Amino acid sequence: MKVAFLARHAENTVVNDQHEALRSTLGLAAEMIDSHFFLLDHELVKEVAEDQEYKERYEMLTDELEEEVFSNVKENEKHGYKYLTTEEIAKKLKEYDLVIPYGR
């Protein structure tokens, strides 16, 4: 099984969406389910990027479990996200058995 978690911009919930979507991705990946995180349409919020809990989850997901994180915002490359255009992401999402969106 292959699962994609998408965090999209949602005015007041963007920080929670970024945290929760990454946490959920990590949870499934820890159970050996191929899980990837997509951050869409906005740059990673500074307070999230600097949050120790987020950093630990991100490192565990990408370094220890070797899962991937993607974004359609080029600026997120500096946070370790692989850049894909929106069209490339749309094509890639067809590979997943389950796509779980966070945000509006």
Give the model's pLDDT for residue 104.
64
33/53 Cα distance (integer angstroms): 22
pTM of the model: 0.90
From first to last of its 104 residues, the chain has per-residue pLDDT tens of 999 999 986 555 556 788 889 999 999 999 999 999 999 998 888 888 888 999 999 999 999 999 999 999 999 999 999 999 999 999 999 999 999 998 76
Domains and CATH numbers, the chain: 2-102 (3.40.1260.10)
The confidence score (pLDDT) of residue 80 equals: 95
- For residues 42 and 68, give the distance between their C-alpha atoms in angstroms, rounded to a whole number: 18
pLDDT of residue 9: 66
Q: Which of 98, 61, 95 is nearest to 80 (CA)?
A: 61
